[in-house]
Structure 1
Amino acid sequence: MPRQNSVAIVENFWREVWQQPQDPDAIDRLVHEDFVITSGGRDIVGREPFKAWVRDFLAKVHDFQFHIVETFQNHDGSRVASRWRVTGRNNGLMGTQPNGALIEMTGTAVWEVGPDGLLRHNWVERNAFEVHGAITREDARANIF
């Protein structure tokens, strides 16, 4: 039997931080003080920098919606893998001009969950290349008219 239900811990994080109404301040109670997110090969270390990163991401996607696709854990609950999908409209994501282009981003997150139930590390990968191409094509179409 698993040591803990880490799927529930991660899905609670998704609901509280990323789903409506988003609450980046929930990070204070859900992640370890030395939490690390590795995103795009870059480490963001600590609660406050992570909350700032979340707020910045949310600000760049209007009508932000977060969808959990599936989540599962290893035998002892120390690792969780989760597939997710984000939808919304471009408000300057990835350095682009805010143009309202539709965004559909998919990704995978692998989590380290501590025995205390706090999230300690998140490695995230997403289809950023495809999303960037889609929203910049939309920029090009907007400039034609």
Structure 2
Amino acid sequence: MNTRNSVRIVEHFWQRLWQARHPDAIDQLVAEDFSITTGGVTIGSRDALMAWVSAFLESIDDFEFHVIEMFQSASGDRVITRWRVTGKNRGLIGFEPDGAPIDMTGTAVFQVREDGLLQHNWMERSALEVERNMEKFSVVAV
């Protein structure tokens, strides 16, 4: 029986990286060859992940990250999380920074190595819905 608590490992990742906004935590929490697949694109390496996270955080004012629920597979090598991000548009998805409200949900599946480092993250997010809402907001705001 696996005694690894991978939920705690991913919870620590969410807390340090997204809730406390410390991209430098990547060096301690993810494998050197970590990759994330999101929106059909795979981002590989710690440096690329750090740049992606920094750009994402810079595109949302009043950024808040909330974990809705999290659980792990029986083997302990996968953790699934449903999450929510809120804030105000500061250039998300290529939109002009207009302060429009952002409310994005998503699902992340993490691969957790036996040594506790994160190896891969597959993420799906409600980017299309966010884009549609921002388009509505920009039409109303004009």
Range of TM-score over shorter length: over 0.9
Return the letter of the residue paired with 2:92: L
Task: Give the CA deviation at 1:76.
Answer: 1.7
Map of 2:110 onto structure 1:
111
For 2:125 and 2:117, the matched residues in 1 are separated by: 23
Name the TM-score, length of structure 1 as normaliser: 0.95
Structure 1 spans left out of the alignment, 5+ residues? none
Map of 1:4 onto structure 2:
4
Map of 1:30 onto structure 2:
29
Task: Give the CA deviation at 1:142.
Answer: 2.0
Structure 2 spans left out of the alignment, 5+ residues? none
Name the TM-score, length of structure 2 as normaliser: 0.97
SS at match of 1:29: helix
For 2:103 and 2:94, the matched residues in 1 are separated by: 17
Deviations 1:34-65 (A, max 9, x none): 00000101000000000000000000000000
Map of 1:49 onto structure 2:
48
Q: State the identity as a percent.
A: 54
Return the letter of the residue paired with 1:107: G
Map of 2:135 onto structure 1:
136
For 2:121 and 2:16, the matched residues in 1 are separated by: 16
For 2:95 and 2:71, the matched residues in 1 are separated by: 34
For 1:69 and 1:2, the matched residues in 2 are separated by: 25
Map of 2:98 onto structure 1:
99
Map of 2:38 onto structure 1:
39
List structure 1 segments (4+ residues) > 4 angstroms apart after TM superposition: none
